[in-house]
């Protein structure tokens, strides 16, 4: 059973276990991060949602992984400076992300330390339905005329640092409009803006002290771009699968 907890920001880290005096832990967390959980369960169930700008999880010493359970809005191990720094400081191998969404979206995956950029990766992912596949193969993702992707609240093309998060969006799109989910691996476009959900849940969150939109967006690994993504900037189109590394997903020839 996991009993070692970790809370980290880009510049600070606290590690504790159930043998520690939680009153002391409370004071430490309050002073360093401005949070005051009532107990370890409250830390994981409540504060992980209220402060998605923090790394809040547990340490599995047997597998040498940080384990983070959260919904779609949480730090993205592939792009987050905080996750990479904590993994290095704790001398661990990587991070297991558990996506706590209702079935069939309750996915989990491991990001090894070597896959953690601590910056926006050179490749990002877009999830959609194969109903758009022929158009995407011919034109890429377009922003003029009738879009060949499911329009987001911001009106921008949604991109994720994490393939599995893009896969969740792909399943949601396929359920809405029909077809089968697909995930596009794309070269990073020149212009990246905060994803609408990042703005709503993190940037505009009064619990989050930082106002640096670029940092908060990078840490969450969710972006929007107003630019088209030409077909020659799409590296790969895949059929996503749960609990399987994205590098092993079946590719669709483009």
pLDDT tens digits, one per residue of 205-242: 999 999 899 999 999 999 999 999 999 999 999 999 99
Mean pLDDT of 120-139: 96
Predicted confidence (pLDDT) at residue 155 exceeds the cutoff of 90: no
CA distance 79 to 88: 14
Mean residue pLDDT across the chain = 94
Give the residue from 10, 55, 7, 42 showing the smallest Cα distance to 28: 7
Q: What is the pTM of this model?
A: 0.94
Mean pLDDT of 117-130: 97
Element (H, E) at 24: helix 22-33
CATH architecture of 123-252: Alpha-Beta Barrel (3.20)
CA distance 193 to 172: 22
Q: Are 185 and 251 in contact (CB under 8 A)?
A: no
> Structural domain boundaries of the chain?
4-115, 123-252
Give the residue from 228, 104, 115 showing the smallest Cα distance to 168: 104
pLDDT value for 3: 81
Give the residue from 201, 221, 253, 232 showing the smallest Cα distance to 77: 221
Burial grade of 241 (CB within 10 A; 0-12, 13-18, 19 or more)? middle
Any bridge partners for residue 252, and if so which? 237
Query: Please, which pLDDT band fits residue 106 given cuts at 50, 70 and 90?
Result: confident
């Amino acid at each position: 059973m996991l009993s070692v907890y970790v809370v980290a920001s880009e510049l600070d880290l606290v590690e504790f276990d159930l043998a520690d005096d939680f009153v002391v832990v409370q004071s430490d967390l309050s002073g360093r991060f401005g949070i005051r959980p009532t107990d370890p369960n409250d830390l994981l169930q409540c504060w992980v949602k209220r402060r998605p700008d923090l790394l809040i999880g547990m340490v599995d010493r047997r597998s040498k992984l940080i384990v983070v359970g959260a919904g779609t809005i949480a730090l993205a191990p592939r792009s987050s400076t905080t996750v990479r720094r904590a993994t290095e400081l704790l001398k661990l191998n990587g991070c297991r992300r558990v996506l706590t969404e209702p079935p069939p979206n309750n996915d989990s995956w491991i990001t090894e330390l070597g896959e953690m950029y601590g910056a926006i990766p050179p490749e990002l992912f877009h999830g959609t339905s194969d109903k758009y596949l022929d158009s995407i193969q011919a034109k890429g993702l377009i922003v003029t005329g009738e879009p060949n992707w499911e329009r987001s609240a911001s009106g921008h093309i949604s991109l994720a640092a994490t393939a599995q998060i893009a896969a969740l969006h792909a399943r949601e799109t396929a359920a809405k409009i029909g077809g089968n989910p697909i995930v596009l691996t794309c070269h990073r476009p020149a212009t990246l803006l905060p994803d609408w959900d990042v703005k709503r849940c993190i940037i505009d969150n009064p619990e989050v002290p930082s106002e640096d939109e670029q940092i908060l967006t990078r840490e969450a690994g969710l972006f929007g771009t107003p630019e088209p993504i030409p077909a020659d900037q799409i590296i790969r189109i895949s059929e996503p699968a749960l609990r399987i590394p994205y590098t092993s997903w079946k590719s669709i020839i483009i």
